[in-house]
Chains A and B, each alone.
Chain A
Amino acid sequence: MAILIIFVCIKQVPGITEVRIDPKTNTLIREGIPSIMNPMDKNGVELALEIKEKHGGEIIALSMGPPQAEEVLREALAMGANKAYLLTDRVFAGADTLATSHTLALSIKKIIKESNEKKYIVICGTQAIDGDTAQVGPELAEELGIPQITYVQKFEMSGDKIKVERVFRTEEVVIIEANLPALISVLKEINTPKHPTMAGIVDAYDKKEVIHLDAKAVNADKSKIGLTGSQTEVWKIFVPERKGEHIKLSGTIEEISNELCQKLKEDKIF
């Protein structure tokens, strides 16, 4: 009987809630900022675990990044993923979302081909907290030629059919059905990820491994990966300047209120 392969795509990101700006140089202070698993990807791993528990299958965690991104894959293994693959190679660096999704697709295609399984689902976090693009999921679905449903906050599956709740806009959610294989990108509302157990952590280091794949292993065409395979490029990075001055209003409460009203009027608030 065919088993379900549950792919979860994971990105290692800096824990930006702890990012500070150095007021003197106006740049990011990076010292001591931990690297973490992108929060919505963690929801993705949790969903994979829930799917596996109900329907069986094998969870494969995937990431592309520098060698140290192995840490987040270990974490996924500790949470309960069965296997982990890290796409790591200097030639993958500098990738925009087009090149990233291509590279991830190569590994998924390779794994599917080798396992002879046709039934699979790909789970991504809707967006990462560093880049915030939300583009890799849909681009990956396109490359794999499978349906996509993004912004998913509820998930059900029966047989080959998935039924999900997609947040469409503030006033509306849409319930959508699709057949597997399919890609979904999840929101944090979908579940609350559980911490790995002690046994899980031990297994992640002792019994499971993170398999490294380089460009050769996935048979990558160098014109489609990394910086060369990217269409967009960063031209400039800068720390946003705060608009205007920071004025402390002073005087009696009446004077302050009056001054603020005038300022708001000047700014055409009313």
Chain B
Amino acid sequence: MSIRIDDEICTGCGSCVASCPYGGIEIINDKASITENCNLCGACVEACTVEAIILEREEFKIEKMDISQYKGVWVIAEHYKGKIHDVAFQLLGKGRELADKRKANLTLLILGADFDNQLEKISQYGQDEIIYVKSKILKDYYSDLYVKILAELIQEHKPEIVLIGATPTGRDFAPRVSKRLHAGLTADCTGLKIDEETGNLLQTRPTFGGHIMATIRTPNSRPQMATVRPGIFKIPEQVKKKVKTTMINYDFKEKDTVTKIVKIIAREKSRINLEEAEIIVAGGRGVGSKENFKIIRDLAEVLNAEVGGSRVAVELNWIEHDQQVGQTGKTVSPRLYIACGISGAIQHIVGMQGANLIVAINKDENAPIFKIAHYGIVGDLHKVIPELIKQIKRVRAEETI
């Protein structure tokens, strides 16, 4: 396994240098040269315009997997208090698209205890099939039982693609299943696409704190597994169609699991859930005082939004720690993020740049937040926000007439 540059072909253009996130390639005497930082990720190979970079894998006598045996797209549902997590429905929407491209079935897997009465409702999200693994103990999440069941079912049914929500639960069992099956797994994807040429799943995910995106593929083995962030894909419109349902009963006992759930503790109700918020109004130093934060809350209220803030706002005790967005706080990806009096230090930006739409209100026209904001308003937030609230109320009122 090695990487080398064909000096005869290399033009020294430097596009490889730009593509490398690790500083693993340099231009020396007008030719590309690999440094010791290289970790063989192969990004430069794709970036090279003249195919001068050669990445060779040593060929071992590994039994080549017959990937053509694998067919279908699976979505693994996660549930909480008897309700399927929305991310499963979001994945069914995307899964339908992938399955259609591959001319294959879309299957939803539920590992649970009490979904019999909900199956009809759950079956309306475009899937062709539901596999419902039923066992009393599966009311709760047990890492090892999920791994055991999923690994067995995947081995038996051989799906080509397996999609899982990138929640603490999904990110707990997915890697272990992938290891048991020796299947490739890509974490925390924000984009999924079928490569027209090869049929491979192209899995795009943010890396380096969201500064760069990497597209990952699993060319030589199946299934191709991916965890996907909640809130990335839309829940599809419900359709009535005939869905094949298979129920598998498992008689698991508590002794069948190596971990024991001692207690489940609900956290305080008032807990702010920024990660799942659709709209966030956030304030920073420019808000000025704890009292002034009321204006932020007022704007949040008319938009039915959550309130967040920068590190400064937390340090000055204007808001709670779990309202902090950024490197040392929450990473959020709402549909709309309104940054009020936030200058936009990189530590803040890494936490909110995943927002679909960013609006910034700031007095300083040179504030870095304007570089990433889709709509920037240079002005005093104490004057802009009250007017904005007024107008939003007016637009809302017009709609209801």
Contact = CB atoms under 8 A, between A and B. Distances in A.
Interface stretch (A71-79, A106-114, A142-150): A142-150
A54 interface: no
Contacts of B266: 171-172
B261 A176 contact: yes
A247 B375 contact: yes
* Centre residue among A91, A136, A174 by max chain B CB count within 10 A: A174
A227 interface: yes
B383 interface: yes
A27 B19 CA distance: 7
B265 A129 contact: no
Contact of B214 (A141, A236, A248): A236
Interface string B194-216: 00000000100011111111111
A177 B375 contact: no
B123 interface: no
B41 A174 contact: no
B58 A228 contact: yes
A178 interface: yes
A249 B376 contact: yes
A149 to B, nearest CB: 7
A19 B216 contact: no
B184 A177 contact: no
B320 interface: no
B215 to A, nearest CB: 4
B303 to A, nearest CB: 7
Contact of A269 (B37, B43, B336): B336
Contacts of B188: 132-134
Nearest to B141: A168
Given A66-B37, A169-B80, A236 B43 contact: yes
Contact of A175 (B172, B263, B387): B263
Contact of A254 (B1, B19, B335, B387): B387
Contact of B18 (A27, A96, A151, A166): A27
Interface residues of A, number: 93
30 contacts: A16-B209, A19-B209, A94-B40, A132-B187, A132-B206, A134-B175, A134-B187, A134-B188, A136-B175, A138-B175, A138-B179, A142-B147, A142-B175, A142-B179, A147-B144, A150-B143, A168-B169, A169-B167, A171-B266, A177-B260, A228-B58, A228-B60, A231-B185, A231-B220, A247-B375, A248-B376, A250-B378, A257-B390, A267-B357, A270-B399
Interface in A91-112: 91, 93-94, 96-98, 101
Nearest to A92: B39
Interface stretch (B5-13, B98-106, B126-134, B268-276): B268-276
Interface string A59-88: 000000011000000000000000000000
Contacts of B169: 168-169
A191 interface: no
Interface of B: 1, 17-21, 23, 36-43, 46-47, 55, 57-58, 60, 62, 80, 141, 143-144, 147, 167-169, 171-176, 178-180, 182-188, 202, 206-221, 258-267, 269, 271, 273, 275-276, 279, 303, 327, 335-336, 346-347, 350, 353, 356-357, 359, 365, 370-379, 383-384, 387-388, 390-392, 394-396, 399
A223 interface: yes
Contacts of A175: 261-265
A257 B384 contact: yes
A194 interface: no
B265 A172 contact: yes
Given A169-B169, A264-B359, 20 more contacts: A19-B208, A130-B207, A134-B188, A139-B175, A149-B143, A150-B143, A169-B167, A178-B259, A179-B258, A228-B1, A232-B185, A234-B215, A235-B46, A243-B357, A260-B375, A261-B391, A264-B336, A264-B357, A267-B356, A269-B303
Contacts of A169: 80, 167-169
A240 B42 contact: no
Given A169-B167, A174-B265, A264-B336, A93 B374 contact: no
